Amino acid sequence: MPGPPVLLAVAHGSRDPRHAQTMRALVRRVRARRPGLRVELGFLDFDAPSVGGALAALAREARRAGPRPAAGTGAVVAVPLLLNRAFHAKADLPAVLRQAPPELRIEQAGVLGPAPLLLRALERRLYEAGLPPGDLSSTGVVLASAGTSDPEANAVIAAIAREWRHTGWCAVRPSFASSPAGRGGAPPGRRGPVQAGDGTAAAVRGLRTLGCARVAVAPYVLAPGVLPDRIVRGAAEADVVAPVLGDAPEVADLVLRRFDQA
């Protein structure tokens, strides 16, 4: 009987080599958490293998297998290693999957976020960076995302900040590194301590103004790169700056959850 399909993890890709290194570490973590499941990695841009290249390799295996395929041969679930449903998830990845070889049966899973597991991963990274556990009420957090030109996706980040605030933090503010909001202006129609769309530095100052005794910055990004570096520079006045989510166990578990759901 055929086994489970192949999990094809689809990463964004970057000119920064740290991005690919981090995505490969995440894939290793996913493999370790479910032995026996075949997990491959493809990149939408810059890095190899490309998503198209990974699919072509899987199709060649399916052709060689003939009428008696090995477990999972020909069946693929593409899991986007993306935190938000923006352009890459809505347009780029579906376009690539539509061009896949006919030997493959492909399902596209949902993006990783939003999800409670990601909030747990953010907290893990904050505590690893030195934030004292159990002192949430005096700590303000900047939920620092890369940002996007997609207003719907940016609104999701603001909603995550509101949800996270209710777990006991002094306050939570989203910030955007690449959208117009990340260059100093708030998105139209968004006001208030949780919805303000400032850059990281402005968000840190805003939390100080609110009276938070401690300010922490939690990058809502998976891997290092140009925009995460911009977040770190903007966090110079924060007390704690967490690393990227990377291969946090909760992220690996979420990849498998999206695979199962698909």
Beta sheet of 139-145, edge-to-edge order:
171-176, 139-145, 214-219, 240-241
- Distance, C-alpha 37 to centroid of its chain: 22
Lowest mean pLDDT among 26-30, 148-152, 250-254, 255-259: 148-152
Instruction: Give the span between the Cα atoms of 147 and 176, in whole angstroms.
Output: 5
Asked if 108 and 94 touch (Cβ cutoff 8 Å), the reply is yes
pLDDT, position 144? 97
Instruction: Please name the residue ranges forming H helices in 215-248.
Output: 226-234
Q: Are 245 and 125 spatial neighbours (Cβ–Cβ below 8 Å)?
A: yes
Percent helix, strand, coil in the chain, to 5, is 45, 15, 40
For range 157-162, the mean pLDDT: 96
* pLDDT of res. 134: 85
pLDDT band at 132 (very low <50, low <70, confident <90, very high): very high
Asked if residue 19 has pLDDT above 90, the reply is yes
d(CA 195, CA 227): 20
Helix axes 249-261, 116-128, angle to 10 degrees: 170
Rounded Cα gap, residues 239 and 172, in angstroms: 15
Q: Tell me, what's the pLDDT at 27? A: 98
Q: Is the peptide bond before 132 cis (omega within 30 degrees of 0)?
A: no
Does the pLDDT of residue 155 top 60, yes or no?
A: yes
- How many other C-beta atoms are found inside a 10 Å radius of the C-beta of residue 103? 17
| Mean pLDDT across 22-41 | 98
Residue 50 is given by DSSP the state: B
Task: Identify whether the C-beta of residue 243 lies closer than 8 Å to the C-beta of residue 117.
Answer: no
**Residue 120: which of 167, 175, 171, 174 has the closest Cα?**
167
Least confident span in 57-71, 75-89, 186-200: 186-200
Question: Of 92, 94, 119, whose CA–CA distance to 109 is shortest?
Answer: 94
Q: Flag whether pLDDT at 6 surpasses 50.
A: yes
3-class SS of residue 247: coil
At residue 78, the pLDDT reads 98
Of 102-111, 149-158, 235-244, the range with the lowest mean pLDDT is: 149-158
Does residue 133 surpass a pLDDT of 90?
no
Range picked from 34-48, 137-151, 189-203 for highest mean pLDDT: 34-48
Over residues 138-146, the mean pLDDT reads: 97
| Mean per-residue pLDDT, 49-55 | 97
What is the pLDDT of the chain when averaged over all its residues? Answer: 89
CA distances from 165 to 46, 52, 100, 174, 205 (A): 36, 40, 42, 11, 17
Quick check: 135 pLDDT over 90?
no
pTM above 0.85, yes or no: yes
- Please report the pLDDT score of residue 70 as a whole number: 52
